[in-house]
A and B are shown apart, each in its own frame.
Chain A
Amino acid sequence: MSTNERSNVVEMSWDPVTRIVGSLGIHTKIDFGTRRVIECRATSSIFRGYSVFLRGKDPRDAHFITSRICGICGDNHATCAIYAQNMAFGIKPPVIAEWIINLAEAAEYMFDHNLFQDNLVGVDYCEQMVRETNPGVWAEAERTPAPHAEAHGFRVIADIMRALNPFTGSFYREALEMSRVCREMYCLMGGRHVHPSTLYPGGVGTVASPQLFTDYLTRLVRYIEFLKRSVPLHDDLFDFFYQALPGYEQVGRRRVMLACWGGFQNPGACDFRYETMRSWGREMYVTPGIVIDGELVTTDLVDINLGIRILVGGSFYDDWVGGETFVKTDPLGNPVDPRHPWNQTTKPRPQKRDFASRYTWVFAPRWYHAPSGQYLALDSGGGPLARLWVTALAGRVRMDHVEATGSSVKIRLPRTATRAEVELEWRIPRFANTLERNRARTYFQAYAAAAALHFLERGMREVHAGNTRTWTEFKVPDEAIGCGFHEAVRGMLSHHLVIRDGKIANYQPYPPTPWNASPRDEYGTPGPYEDAVENTPLFEENGPDRFKGIDIMRTIRSFDPCLPCGVHMYLGDGRIIEARHSPTLGVQVVEGR
């Protein structure tokens, strides 16, 4: 980092970060001399204690309770909890139940990405915001023709931005309505949204009939028609920022360390047994895996599982290592680390927030990379970026309308009422940065829609063959362990369950946001938000007094934070900090102004 002789470091916070789920605070030190963020802390100020109060409960209640972890992706938790219960109870649901769950989850991706992209993230790129932060960019947007105007109907880039203005923008409102159509699709399969009513260990309570699939299909084709405008619209919008602001690819850029735990089970392969998890994991319709610096280091769910470590770092918890161990070895005989979720005991320790030591309710999950001996702060890139990247590299997925090629993912959207067939290709980008996280979100909506066509067709096949039983009976064992791996909307999600005396002895859910929003760990490694914001260049035209931090906000939102936990930041009225070449936490603060 170059040092500026007239370095002008200001402490700024945004509290709360809005247009995300839950509360998040971003506290930064910004050097307005070099126009860079030099330090960032992510903090969350709400704690509820699921892993504490799940202890002693009936294991069959796990999916009903854990769904309530999150009000936008609760069904992901319910699904993941059911996967863990299926493993612990030793059951395999009927084939049609898996297609129904996949259809439900596909609808959740379609709904959630849609709402988030165009009603939350989109506002960062709307007319009002761009005019307030980059008037020069707005002027250029007015002059710049949209390359795909024919597909989406907006002549210049500024028209797209106008259409994204909150509530008054036409595309903003249309996206909101489409998010409802997707939620109706979810309700058809999962009963209700966002906390499902028809999901159970062993299958679903959904009545499988031709009508069920017809009602879903008629909504899905409407959504596909909408996607044929939405995908090129977002390509135009994001490409324009690269053009209007040379160097923008550095905003929110992070080393490529992406994780995906796999989505959409293949009922032909999956029996939910740990012993066979390696093979059925690879048959999922979103491939699990970890990408480090462009290389796919594993697609093995057993390796992925055994590498998870929960560090305490800057979090409000007491350590548990040295206390009770629940799982010494996995069902294959591999040793399980004391810092693995199966062995974690959550010990909340409320305390004052201190950015020099402990400052958040979020733990610090890491993945132990044996070759380097490092605890990697993996991220999900908001979910879609990691899913597409891993799936593309793995080259395994072949569906009716989706193909992974080894370097890209091809998605075919068939002909709809007023539009011809469209083939989209998501290619692995050069950078893992803010704009590419957002672009991937739009492409994954298309992925989910195309995958849903595949699942619908397979589900109908079962109905036509008369295979309409949707549930397998089971007994709760006295002693068992289970784990669920799933891709929540925002990325990797795992649930680890331990049963003793027929009750939950330990339950540890790890959604993507704990990975993305984690604080510094014991080794000083920052969490992904912190890391992506630190060293990000700033392109906003406002000085410290009217600064909105738009590039920082775009970066944070590109990860699609979902912190039903607390957050806060404040903007403006920054305090001037004594200039240092490399400020550290705890630097003496001198009140400015």
Chain B
Amino acid sequence: MNDAPLTEIDVLWITAGLSCDGDTIAATGATQPSLESLILGAIPGIPRIRLWNPFLAYETGDALIERYHAAAEGRLDPFLLVVEGSIPDEQNKSEGYWAGFGTDRSTGQPILTVDWIDRLAPRAWAVLAAGTCAAYGGIHAIAGNPTGCMGLADHLGAGWRSGAGIPIVNLPGCPVQPDNFTETLLYLLYQAVGRAPMIPLDEAGRPIWLFAQTVHEGCDRGGYYEQADFTVEYGASSCIVKLGCWGPVVMCNVGKRGWMGGVGGCPNVGGICIGCTMPGFPDKFMPFMEEPPGARMSTAAVVMYGTTVRALRRFTKISMDAEPEWRRRGGAADHEKDGG
């Protein structure tokens, strides 16, 4: 990195992992901040981003790929690398490829996505794994998959640091929650100009302020759990832990934050948490529609306490649902007569 104050930074995005582009598309849904606000310089004091993402790029073919070659050869500096999709094991077969991005002119064959990552990561100012696939392997690394794929840290090594000393920033989610993504990008932009300290990450590489709570801790159905009100029917408003919700043991803020503009989510709106932000996803959460084994014990433990609390609350609520007696015609006079 040169020492001139940063006014712009390139964001190089590889969507050619084993991905569905869902994290890119989620990012276009963000409003806090929105992608266009970062591109158009709406936020003071941070560098604008020059975004190179195949889904949105004006350029096509070589005009786009050239930016990636420039970065790999040290002609584009600094840049932030975003990786989307799982990283396949290209060593598990005799020929061919699981994932490629662009064509190698000398061979006429696709350039392997893993080769891009190996060439770009060492030169990147920071590396951001967008989505559970890039972070931990995700759905494509499920048992029985043919590609032997993995997350970025599995590929680069657990203690990996960028040239600037930044660990891999994992932003899990399937897809990533839109604002979680752009907000993390915003944090890194602040950090890039020295206006924020090193991004605080947990053991799994996740931004702590977004992933320190479980789904359950931010779920507005938690009150039903406490009162042992567990539904056995999808579509009810009460707690769905017996229907397959893993929220009590999953690190994710969707229940609290909503999905977009505060709308939607998962268990808070009747969708069981399937643990899609977690390193153990999906295998350790399947079959999704079965009650988690741990929940069976916990809910049994809650039942006696919860039903008692519910009964007591119901009793208090009946009282609280009635107005004070002086609120009626002539009531105030009676009230005074009684000596107030």
Contact = CB atoms under 8 A, between A and B. Distances in A.
Is B one of A's binding partners?
A: yes
Nearest to A77: B20
B96 A188 contact: no
Given A22-B21, A566-B99, A570-B102, A61 B145 contact: no
Q: Is the interface of B mostly helix, strand, loop or mixed?
A: loop
B260 A197 contact: no
B218 interface: no
Interface string B33-76: 01010011000000000000011111111111100000000000
Given A48-B140, A64-B288, A203-B234, A74 B20 contact: yes
A384 to B, nearest CB: 19
A206 B270 contact: yes
Given A45-B110, A60-B288, A68-B139, A568 B260 contact: no
A215 B97 CA distance: 47
A76 B26 CA distance: 16
A45 B287 CA distance: 31
A49 B145 contact: yes
Contacts, number: 296
B26 A61 contact: no
Interface stretch (B152-160, B183-191, B201-209, B261-269): B261-269
Interface string B5-41: 0000000000110111111111011010010100110
B307 interface: no
Contacts of A115: 25, 28
Contact of A570 (B65, B175, B269): B65
Contacts of A548: 60
Contacts of A203: 234-235
B146 interface: yes
A561 to B, nearest CB: 11
Contacts of A49: 140, 145-147
B322 interface: no
A211 B265 CA distance: 16
A298 to B, nearest CB: 32
Nearest to B23: A71
B274 A187 contact: no
Contacts of A61: 282, 286-289
A183 B101 contact: no
Interface in A414-445: none
A71 B269 contact: no
A18 B59 contact: yes
A184 B65 contact: no
Given A45-B99, A61-B287, A206-B269, A179 B146 contact: no
Interface in A1-49: 13-23, 25, 45-49
Interface residues of B, number: 84
A350 B61 contact: no
Contact of A192 (B28, B103, B259): B259
Contacts of A205: 234-235, 240, 269-272
Given A13-B61, A19-B60, A564-B21, A46 B259 contact: no
B144 interface: yes
A123 B100 contact: no
B55 A21 contact: yes
A60, A192, A473, A573 — most chain B CB neighbours (10 Å): A192
A194 B259 contact: no
Contacts of A471: 233-235
A21 B26 CA distance: 13
A312 B50 CA distance: 41
A265 to B, nearest CB: 18
Interface in A515-566: 548-549, 553, 564, 566
A191 B269 contact: yes
A195 interface: yes
A55 B139 contact: no
Nearest to B289: A60
A53 B25 contact: no
B65, B96, B144, B147 — most chain A CB neighbours (10 Å): B96
Contacts of A19: 54-57, 60
Q: Is the interface of A mostly helix, strand, loop or mixed?
A: loop
> Could you say which interface size class chain A belongs to?
35 or more
Interface in A564-591: 564, 566, 568-573
Interface in A294-342: 316
Given A46-B18, A176-B28, A205-B240, A13 B103 contact: yes
Contact of B60 (A48, A65, A571): A571
Given A18-B60, A207-B237, A215-B263, A194 B175 contact: yes
B22 A74 contact: yes
A589 to B, nearest CB: 10
Contacts of A207: 235-237, 269-270
B98 interface: yes
Given A23-B54, A71-B24, A470 B235 contact: yes
B66 to A, nearest CB: 10
Interface in A76-133: 97, 115, 119-120, 123, 128-129
Contacts of B288: 58, 60-61, 64
B269 A353 contact: no
B102 A119 contact: no
B328 interface: no
Interface in B208-240: 233-237, 240
Given A68-B139, A72-B22, A195-B175, A352 B96 contact: yes
A305 B266 CA distance: 34
A392 to B, nearest CB: 31
A21 B21 CA distance: 7
Nearest to B99: A46
Contacts of A15: 61-62, 65, 102-103
B20 to A, nearest CB: 4
Contact of B98 (A202, A350, A568): A350
A486 interface: no
Nearest to A316: B96
Contacts of B233: 469, 471, 473
B174 interface: yes
A147 interface: no
Contacts of A564: 19-21
B308 interface: no
A190 B19 CA distance: 22
B261 to A, nearest CB: 6
Interface string B122-160: 000000000000000011101111110000000000000
A124 B286 CA distance: 44
B165 interface: no
Contacts of B55: 18-21, 120
A200 to B, nearest CB: 5
B235 A180 contact: no
27 contacts: A18-B56, A19-B54, A45-B99, A46-B18, A46-B98, A47-B98, A52-B145, A53-B146, A68-B174, A72-B21, A74-B20, A180-B260, A184-B260, A188-B264, A190-B264, A192-B264, A192-B265, A197-B272, A207-B236, A207-B237, A350-B95, A353-B109, A353-B110, A470-B235, A471-B233, A548-B60, A568-B102
Closest 5 CB pairs of A and B: A197-B271, A71-B22, A187-B264, A350-B96, A205-B270
Given A71-B19, A176-B36, 17 more contacts: A16-B61, A16-B102, A18-B61, A18-B64, A25-B110, A46-B19, A48-B140, A48-B145, A72-B25, A167-B39, A187-B269, A203-B235, A207-B236, A351-B96, A352-B96, A568-B102, A570-B105
